[in-house]
Amino acid sequence: MLTNMRTLTKDTVNKIGESVNLMGWVETRRDHGKLIFIDLRDRWGIVQVVFNPKNGELLKSADRLRPEWVVKIEGVVKERPKGMQNSEIPTGNVEIEAVGLEILAEAKTPPFDIAGDGHEIGEESRLKYRYLDLRRSRLLKNLASRDKIISFARNYLREKDFIEIETPILTKSTPEGARDYIVPSRLHAGQFYALPQSPQQYKQLLMVAGVERYFQIARCFRDEDTRGDRQPEFTQLDLEMSFAEEEDILNLVEDLFIKMVQDIFPEKKITQTPFPRISYKEATEKYGTDKPDLRKNKDDKNELAFAFVVNFPMFEWKKTDPSTSSGQRKGRWDAVHHPFTKIRSADWRTEITKENADNLMAHQYDFVLNGYEIAGGSIREHNPKILETVFEIMGNKKEDIRKQFSHLLEAFEYGVPPHGGIAPGIDRIAMILAGEPNIREVIAFPKTGDGRDLMMDSPSEISTDQLKELHIKIEKQKEK
């Protein structure tokens, strides 16, 4: 039995002549006459191990080794002979002369190659065996980069006196835009929780509570169609500030991201600082999109073109019947950002009306990078009467507004400070900075394009007993 004192592969370069104990996976095995070589892999890299014929029993054990077996190896770190170094890996100047071997776990032949970058492998296979896919160095590097982004943001905001606070995952279903994921209550028959589309109302209530500066690495859930930069569940850096104006929040975000890039991704070059501020009107008229790609060389993955898009319309018209002509105006007004956004106006009493909805502008701002929206935010409406009016413009009845948002409207009657915030999307940011084509490459266990988890086989049916406990009856569609 080998000792439990472990040396990581990356540290072997500093231990020439020393005895070490390594643990990891067999990446490859090569037979060279009477010698057997393996590349041993752990999270930090690979190192070459050589088994020589001086120890016949050890060589015999090494002959059994196959890719992805898990082993302990005791050996001595030696310099590789001149002409045999490998400049492509950090440990390429050393090798381990094995003196002991313990097989911790054997492995079946993987369904695909783990040594490559994996882009050539079908996504369904990769996601079904995600625990194998994650062994490849590219994905481990992506997860490590994501961790650095989150850690940097946490430390930065704490230095600015923000407090990290967790908000509930089981919450209330309210009309905020996307479809909610619904959770039935066992104890309260016929009633349901919703998973949060964002912590929007909770963070505003924290401003009422006097927290003043809040942030959270927040899990969010939206039942909407997926795409390359969207998942049913995602992560955002959620932050909110009291007594803050729009420029306060934009300047904070700009400083955070400039310093983050300098610290974690020094090879990246930011196109322009300060970040440009572009109006929604200019962006759509000049670039044909509200998330313009301002890079000078769009083929350069190391170029980062950050920008803020500001001065959005408050409302947009949504038809309820696609066949109806716009002149008939059959549909409803919807908030471009969300209903809690403050309207840019001086005279609330005369200007906030349904008849004037298409003239109202919002204190909304988006943060874009290389043609992607990576954050959205706004200064919030903290006057409960104006907030009620906004919901009425969107077609909600006054009694329904009170029923669905009574907690927030009542809270705003107890002394609420002006406040605003923003929520950068961790997944999209990590994707762009890693140079990946979609966010599934920077999420440990993502869903497929149609929202399935192939590894866990979900969504799935539940038992009849569970359905009874939840007071739910499944009605199957009749065959036509």
The two structure tokens encoding residue 473: 């009856």
Tell me if 166 sits within 8 A of 203, measured CB to CB: no
The annotation places the binding site at 176, 222-224, 231, 337, 373, 380, 425-428
| Distance, CA of 172 to CA of 363 (rounded, Å) | 26
Q: Do 140 and 101 touch, CB atoms closer than 8 A? A: no
Q: Is 172 exposed, middle or buried (0-12, 13-18, 19+ CB in 10 A)?
A: middle
As annotated, the binding site for L-aspartate includes 176, 222, 337, 380
CB atoms within 10 A of CB 168: 11
In degrees, rounded to 5, the angle at the alpha carbon of residue 353 between the alpha carbons of residues 409 and 321 is 95
The token pair at 296 is 């000078």
Helices 384-393 and 398-411 cross at an angle (nearest 10°) of 150
Strand residues in 328-411 grouped as ranges (E) = 331-335, 343-344, 361-362, 364-369, 372-379
Q: Is 42 helix (H, G, I), strand (E, B) or coil?
A: strand
Q: What residues have CB less than 8 Å from 33, skipping those under 6 apart?
A: none
How far apart CA 62 and CA 84 sit, in angstroms, is 22
CA 13 to chain centre: 35
Binding site for ATP, residues? 222-224, 231, 373, 425-428
